[in-house]
């Protein structure tokens, strides 16, 4: 089929075939065309043949792998050049999510990933080439492109069974994978009727003259109600989306034009389809608990119905082997299948609203939509976080992915705030510009993962810890030529307590520099001991000035963040720690004497402890998912229990509040003197684990940086 749209190879926008200049980026389109006589090789192995479509923030090409007997592959090209910061982040997240998920999966109806690589301005993903069209394109009627045509009952059931098969594979994966954006545009149909699920990054498409709609919760009409609010998205969200698709195939009604409204089926020429109608209404139920318990339940019912309405078949046909019905000339009747089964629907209403207008109307109404035709009513607060946790957003400034592809374990701003450090699973430490997150220095410290970081009070020294040793590096800054040039000196081994350790034992250290001098506190969690080391810059030596027994540290505590077993008071005179008796102990950092100790009022295992900045009389105590502000005498002033365990904290003396990271990826901000905690980042926005957060010091607006297990480092500003 001749291509009627010309995609800009610079920004990815779709233009009219006769256009001379890209409407989006103003580049000369004909200067960017691929010369048919010019051979373009990527990575010296992939020969681009021609462009087949637009995917995400770029184009998709059919290509040959000349190193694999000219195997045909698809190459998705993500073009970052000229994207806004927000668009860059969205493109980055989608690319990383697709690589992360698909590289771990193996299913006949999922594209395989063979390679991924980058150049200066583009990211590339090499995967299976699937020869076909989207289900969305297949459903378009030639005589009325904006309308959806009907499919026969047999073909609809076959489509449902095929999609159930691949969804069951995803849902039973460990951990389960929720596709979250199941819709006809993300399903490829081959000429033989086989279906493939594509785009795990939630692709966005450009259209001539139309701005791109960016909605993080999925596609309106197909997205389950819980995807619009704080409620956890489960595998039942995909069941809802599948129900919306099946309803569309049988009625011709695009769910995006009237979201959450699914009328009953009216299959006049068929009988005993009440079970199908009942199941579809359950699948698109507003209440999650009213939907089928699993996709396996849905598949079993679809297979039963298929066998019932195809009596010539003694068993359910393998997916994709059915004969394909011809496109309909009208929207009223269709005749298909070997047994002469007929199906008739009332004509679908004409499309009255564009998808964008539907979205705008939904947002303007605050998603106040009622259900009809067996779908229960919907109340507004089902889409929002509880009223006592007002939702606020972070505006994303920038995101960077470490080039060594190691998952980032920790991030920490230097005291001056002009730089921050990160450590990763490959044993590297990187220094980043605090304003624009550009990398400025890097050092391979250890062959094993670096778990935590700690800056000296003046930012001249950076300590880092593996599960075996503690290292320290000097950080040099040269400001003689304007912008500071940062250099990391070779790391020095500071401490290792592994001489008596067996191969199966591992030690996790807490490290913490004193706030006003060069004293480094090190907690050996295997032995439950604490060491105070005095660093002497002239000789670059550490001298142990204190060694405390395991009565001061609880070695059995499995904290969610290993760098919170111990904390210094703001004046550097005291240290607070978790004792072996699950108590909070305060001891004098000068003479090693315990000042006093007590047990929290809440009877639970203490997992983290910190000292509130700027307040020598108040500490922060975490017991799994319970967060407490407690004074040094043991009196609880404020307490709050979150939905999941606390994994990290971020705070400084210039901001009246604490940022709290949870195990599920949520981030909250809490100033207990003003209000309850409020959500600022939803953990559902990525499959990567949130490992660490850090707050930039002395900024007008709070600037928070987060480290993720997929290698991303994301910086936010609270707006």
| Digit-coded pLDDT (tens) for 19-34 | 667 766 666 554 444 4
Asked if 361 and 463 sit in the same domain, the reply is: no
- The domain that contains 473 carries what CATH number? 2.130.10.10
Domain harbouring 308, CATH code: 1.10.510.10
Q: What is the pLDDT of residue 325?
A: 31
Say whether both 175 and 62 belong to one domain. Answer: no
- pLDDT category, 395, cuts 50, 70, 90? low
Strands (E), 579-689: 584-588, 594-598, 608-611, 618-623, 626-631, 636-641, 646-650, 658-662, 667-670, 678-681
Residues 187 and 59 in one domain: no
Residue 13 lies in a domain: no
Verify that 56 and 151 share a domain, yes or no: no
Beta-strand runs (E) in 479-540: 485-488, 492-496, 509-513, 519-524, 529-536
- 175: which residues sit within 8 A by CB, 6+ positions away? none
Number of domains in the chain: 3
Q: Is the pLDDT of residue 504 over 50?
A: no
Residue 333 lies in a domain: no
Annotated binding site: 77
Do 175 and 156 fall within a single domain?
A: yes
In this prediction, residue 100 carries a pLDDT of 74
What pLDDT score was predicted for residue 29?
56
Residues 376 and 410 in one domain: no
b/e per residue 236-268 (b: at least 16 CB within 10 A): bbbbbbbbbbbbbbbbbbbbbbbbbbbbbbebe
Which of 67, 96, 128 lies at the terminal end of a domain, its last residue?
128
The label of the residue with tokens 């550009």 reads 438
**237 and 265 assigned to the same domain:** yes
CA distances (Å), origin 490, targets 329, 441, 538: 74, 12, 16
Q: Is residue 268 part of a domain?
A: yes
Burial class (CB in 10 A: 0-12, 13-18, 19+), 195: buried
**Model's pTM, two decimal places?**
0.48
Percent of all residues in the chain with a pLDDT value above 90, rounded to a whole number = 17
pLDDT at 506: 52
In this structure, is residue 203 part of a structural domain?
no
Domain assignment of residue 21, yes or no: no
122 and 149 assigned to the same domain:
no
Strand (E) or helix (H) holding 340: none
Looking only at the bridges linking them, the beta strands covering 419-424 and 408-413 are: antiparallel
Give tens-digit pLDDT for 228-250. 765 667 888 899 999 999 988 88
Helix (H, G, I), strand (E, B) or coil at 718: strand
Q: Is residue 71 situated within a structural domain? A: yes
Are residues 124 and 141 located together in one domain of the fold?
A: no
Structural domain contains residue 28: no
- Tell me whether residue 27 is in a domain: no
Does residue 545 share a domain with residue 670? Answer: yes
Burial (Cβ within 10 Å: 0-12, 13-18, ≥19) of residue 163: buried
Residues contributing to the annotated binding site for ATP:
77
pLDDT at 273 over 50: yes
Query: Residue 50: its pLDDT value, please?
Result: 83
Instruction: Find the domain containing 66 and state its range.
Output: 34-128
Show which of 87, 104, 128 is a domain's final residue: 128
Of the three residues 128, 162, 190, the one that is the final residue of a domain is 128
For 426-468, the pLDDT digits (tens) are: 899 999 988 777 888 999 999 888 989 999 999 999 999 988 7
Q: Residue 480 in contact with residue 456, Cβ under 8 Å?
A: no
- Residues β-bridged to residue 59: 54, 77
Per mean pLDDT, which of 14-28, 29-43, 319-333 is the most reliable? Answer: 14-28
Judge if 481 and 615 occupy the same domain: yes
The predicted structure's pLDDT at residue 297: 93
Which of 448, 442, 400, 397 lies closest to 421, judged by CA? 442
pLDDT of residue 242: 94
| 415 and 298 within one domain | no
**Predicted confidence (pLDDT) at residue 46 exceeds the cutoff of 80:** yes
Question: Dihedrals φ, ψ of 694, to 5°?
Answer: -150, 145
């Amino acid at each position: 089929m001749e291509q009627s749209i010309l995609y800009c190879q610079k920004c990815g926008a779709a233009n009219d075939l006769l256009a001379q200049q890209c409407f989006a980026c103003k580049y000369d389109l004909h200067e960017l065309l691929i010369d048919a006589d010019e051979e373009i090789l990527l990575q010296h192995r992939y020969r681009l043949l021609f462009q087949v479509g637009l995917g995400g923030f770029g184009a998709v090409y059919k290509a040959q792998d000349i190193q694999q007997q000219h195997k045909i592959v698809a190459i998705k090209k993500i073009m970052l050049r000229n994207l806004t910061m927000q668009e860059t982040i969205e493109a980055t997240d989608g690319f990383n999510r697709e690589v992360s998920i698909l590289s771990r999966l193996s299913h006949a109806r999922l594209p395989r990933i063979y390679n991924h690589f980058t150049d200066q301005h583009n990211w590339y993903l090499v995967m299976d080439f699937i020869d076909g069209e989207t289900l969305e394109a297949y459903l378009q009627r030639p005589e009325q492109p904006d309308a959806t045509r009907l499919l026969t009952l047999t073909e609809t059931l076959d489509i449902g069974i095929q999609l159930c098969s691949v969804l069951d594979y995803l849902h039973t994966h460990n951990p389960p994978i929720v596709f979250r954006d199941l819709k006809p545009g993300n399903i490829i149909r081959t000429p033989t009727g086989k279906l493939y699920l594509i785009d795990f990054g939630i692709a966005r498409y450009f259209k001539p003259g139309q701005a791109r709609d960016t909605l993080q919760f999925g596609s309106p009409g197909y997205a389950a109600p819980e995807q619009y609010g704080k409620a956890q998205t489960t595998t039942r969200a995909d069941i809802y989306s599948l129900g919306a698709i099946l309803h569309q195939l049988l009625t011709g009604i695009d769910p995006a034009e009237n979201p959450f409204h699914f009328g009953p089926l009216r299959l006049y020429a068929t009988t005993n389809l009440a079970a199908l109608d009942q199941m579809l209404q359950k699948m698109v139920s507003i209440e999650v608990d009213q939907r089928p318990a699993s996709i396996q339940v849905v598949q079993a019912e679809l297979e039963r119905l298929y066998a019932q309405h195809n009596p010539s078949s003694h068993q359910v046909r393998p997916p994709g082997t059915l004969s394909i019905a011809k496109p309909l000339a009208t929207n009223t009747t269709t005749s298909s299948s070997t047994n002469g089964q007929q199906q008739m629907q009332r004509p679908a209403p004409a499309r009255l609203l564009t998808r964008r207008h539907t979205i705008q109307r939904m947002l303007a109404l605050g998603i106040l939509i009622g259900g009809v035709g067996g779908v229960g009513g919907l109340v507004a607060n089902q889409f929002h976080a509880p009223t006592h946790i007002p939702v606020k957003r972070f505006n994303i400034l920038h995101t960077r992915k470490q080039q060594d592809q190691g998952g980032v374990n920790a991030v920490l701003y230097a005291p001056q705030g002009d730089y921050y450090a990160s450590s990763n699973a490959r044993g590297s430490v990187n220094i980043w510009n605090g304003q624009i997150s550009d990398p400025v220095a890097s050092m391979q410290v250890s062959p094993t993962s670096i778990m935590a970081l700690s800056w000296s009070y003046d930012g001249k020294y950076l300590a880092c810890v593996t599960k075996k040793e503690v290292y320290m590096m000097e950080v040099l800054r040269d400001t003689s030529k304007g912008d500071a040039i940062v250099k990391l000196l070779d790391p020095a081994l500071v401490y290792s307590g592994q001489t008596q350790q067996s191969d199966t034992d591992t030690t996790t250290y807490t490290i913490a520099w004193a706030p006003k001098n060069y004293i480094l506190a090190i907690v050996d969690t295997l032995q439950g001991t604490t060491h105070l080391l005095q660093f002497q810059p002239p000789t670059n030596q550490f001298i142990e000035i204190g060694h405390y027994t395991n009565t001061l540290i609880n070695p059995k505590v499995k904290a969610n963040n290993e760098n919170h077993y111990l904390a210094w008071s703001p004046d550097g005179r005291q240290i607070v720690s978790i004792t072996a008796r699950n108590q909070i102990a305060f001891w004098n950092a000068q003479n090693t004497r315990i000042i006093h100790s007590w047990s929290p009022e809440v009877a639970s295992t203490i997992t983290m402890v910190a000292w509130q900045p700027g307040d020598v009389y108040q500490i922060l105590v975490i017991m799994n998912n319970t967060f407490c502000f407690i004074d040094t005498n043991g009196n609880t002033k404020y307490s709050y229990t979150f939905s999941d365990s606390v994994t990290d904290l971020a705070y400084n003396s210039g901001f009246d509040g604490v940022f709290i990271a949870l195990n599920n990826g949520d981030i909250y901000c809490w100033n207990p003197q003003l209000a309850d905690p409020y959500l600022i980042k939803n953990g559902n926005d990525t499959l990567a684990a949130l490992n660490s957060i850090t707050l930039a010091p002395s900024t007008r607006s709070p600037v928070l940086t987060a480290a993720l297990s997929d290698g991303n480092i994301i910086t936010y500003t609270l707006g």
